Amino acid sequence: MTALELHITGMTCDHCAHTVEGALNSLPQVKARVSFKDALAEVEVPIGLSPGRLVKAVQAKGYGASLIEGASGSKTTRDSASLRVAIIGSGSAAFAAAIRAAEEGTRVTLIEGADMIGGTCVNVGCVPSKILIRSAHIAHLMGEHPFDGIANVMPKVDRAKLVAQQQGRVDELRQAKYQGIMDANPNINLLKGRARFQDSRTLIVTFADGSEKAVSADRFLIATGAAAAVPPVPGLKDAPYWTSTEALIARHLPEHLIVLGGSVVGLEIGQAFRRLGSQVTVVELMQRLLPREDEAIGNGLRQILEREGVHILTGAQTKSVRHAPNTFEVTLECETLTGDALLVAAGRAPNTAELNLAAAGVKTEKNGAIAVDDHLRTSAEFIYAAGDCTNQPQFVYVAAASGTRAAINMLGGDAALNLSTMPVVVFTDPQVATVGLTEAQAKGLNIAAESRTLALDNVPRALANFDTRGFIKLVAEKGTGRLLGAQVLAAEGGEIIQTAALALRARMTIHDLSDQLFPYLTMVEGLKLAAQTFTKDVKQLSCCAG
pLDDT in tens, 47-78: 767 787 898 899 888 888 888 755 433 333 34
What's the mean pLDDT in 317-330? 96
**What's the pLDDT score for residue 62?**
85
Taking every pair of Cα atoms in the chain, the longest distance, rounded to a whole number of angstroms, is: 78
**What's the pLDDT score for residue 77?**
36
Which letter, b or e, does each residue of 367-394 get, where b requires 16 or more Cβ atoms within 10 Å of its Cβ?
eebbebeebbbbebeebbbbbbbbebeb
With 60 as the cut, is the pLDDT of residue 289 above it? yes
Beta-carbon contacts of 279 under 8 Å, excluding residues fewer than 6 positions away, are 255, 256, 257, 309, 311, 339
Domain residue spans of the chain: 2-76, 82-121+167-228+350-410, 244-345, 424-540
CA distance 49 to 27: 10
Residue 188: beta bridge partners? 108
**CATH fold for domain 2-76:** Alpha-Beta Plaits (3.30.70)
Of the pLDDT bands very low, low, confident and very high (cuts 50, 70, 90), residue 97 is very high
DSSP-assigned letter for residue 377: B
pLDDT tens for each residue of 409-452? 999 999 999 999 999 999 999 999 999 999 999 999 999 999 99
CA dihedral 245, 250, 256, 259 (to 10 degrees): 0
Q: Which of 1, 13, 178, 334 is catalytic?
A: 13
With 90 as the cut, is the pLDDT of residue 13 above it? no
**What's the pLDDT score for residue 78?**
47
Question: Do 350 and 337 form a contact (C-beta atoms < 8 A)?
Answer: no
Q: Which of 63, 178, 241, 384 is catalytic?
A: 63
Question: Do 488 and 472 form a contact (C-beta atoms < 8 A)?
Answer: yes
H helix or E strand, kind and range, residue 159: helix 159-174
CA distance 58 to 481: 34
Q: Which of 1, 11, 384, 523 is catalytic?
A: 11
| Rounded alpha-carbon distances, angstroms, from residue 503 to 348, 399, 438, 485, 486 | 31, 23, 16, 10, 10
**What's the pLDDT score for residue 374?**
96
DSSP string, 423-444: -EEE-SSSEEEEEE--HHHHHH
Of the pLDDT bands very low, low, confident and very high (cuts 50, 70, 90), residue 248 is very high
CATH topology agreement for domains 82-121+167-228+350-410 and 424-540: no
**What's the pLDDT score for residue 52?**
79
Statement: 424-540 belongs to CATH 3.30.390.30: yes
CA distance 199 to 357: 9
DSSP SS3 for 341: strand
- Please indicate whether residue 121 is annotated as part of the active site: yes
Q: Which of 1, 121, 508, 520 is catalytic?
A: 121
- Please indicate whether residue 543 is annotated as part of the active site: yes
Q: Is the peptide bond before 521 cis (omega within 30 degrees of 0)?
A: yes
With 80 as the cut, is the pLDDT of residue 117 above it? yes
With 80 as the cut, is the pLDDT of residue 513 above it? yes
With 80 as the cut, is the pLDDT of residue 249 above it? yes
- Helix and strand numbers (H, E) in the chain are 17, 26
- Please indicate whether residue 126 is annotated as part of the active site: yes
Task: Decide which of 3.30.950.10, 3.30.390.30, 3.50.50.60, 3.20.20.70 is the CATH code for 82-121+167-228+350-410.
Answer: 3.50.50.60
- Please indicate whether residue 334 is annotated as part of the active site: no
pLDDT tens for each residue of 147-176? 999 999 999 999 999 999 999 999 999 999
Question: Do 115 and 207 form a contact (C-beta atoms < 8 A)?
Answer: no
What's the mean pLDDT in 13-33? 91
Question: Do 111 and 86 form a contact (C-beta atoms < 8 A)?
Answer: yes
Residue 476: beta bridge partners? 450, 483
**What's the pLDDT score for residue 60?**
86
H helix or E strand, kind and range, residue 488: strand 483-490
**CATH fold for domain 244-345:** FAD/NAD(P)-binding domain (3.50.50)
Of the pLDDT bands very low, low, confident and very high (cuts 50, 70, 90), residue 538 is confident
Centre a 10 Å sphere on the Cβ of residue 464 and count the other Cβ atoms it contains. 9
Question: Do 338 and 257 form a contact (C-beta atoms < 8 A)?
Answer: no
pLDDT tens for each residue of 349-401? 999 999 999 999 999 999 999 999 999 999 999 999 999 999 999 999 999 99
**What's the pLDDT score for residue 48?**
65
pTM for the whole thing? 0.85
With 80 as the cut, is the pLDDT of residue 543 above it? no
Strands (E), 304-397: 311-314, 318-324, 327-332, 336-339, 341-344, 348-350, 383-385
Of the pLDDT bands very low, low, confident and very high (cuts 50, 70, 90), residue 79 is low
With 70 as the cut, is the pLDDT of residue 546 above it? no
Amino acid in the structure at residue 371: A
Strands (E), 157-200: 188-192, 194-199
Ramachandran region, residue 335 (left: φ > 0; alpha: ψ -120 to 50; beta: rest) = beta
* Exposed / middle / buried, residue 353 (Cβ in 10 Å: 0-12, 13-18, 19+): exposed
Ramachandran region, residue 184 (left: φ > 0; alpha: ψ -120 to 50; beta: rest) = alpha
Strands 84-88 and 219-222, sheet pairing: parallel
Least confident of 64-68, 130-134, 217-221, 441-445: 64-68
Q: Which of 16, 116, 142, 286 is catalytic?
A: 16
Q: Which of 1, 154, 520, 544 is catalytic?
A: 544
CA distance 21 to 42: 9
For all residues of the chain together, what is the average pLDDT? 94
With 70 as the cut, is the pLDDT of residue 476 above it? yes
Which letter, b or e, does each residue of 26-58 get, where b requires 16 or more Cβ atoms within 10 Å of its Cβ?
ebeebebebebeebbbbbbbeeebebbebbbbb
- Please indicate whether residue 544 is annotated as part of the active site: yes
- Please indicate whether residue 16 is annotated as part of the active site: yes
**What's the pLDDT score for residue 131?**
98
What's the mean pLDDT in 332-361? 97
**What's the pLDDT score for residue 81?**
67
Q: Which of 116, 126, 142, 286 is catalytic?
A: 126
Residue 32: beta bridge partners? 43
**What's the pLDDT score for residue 431?**
98
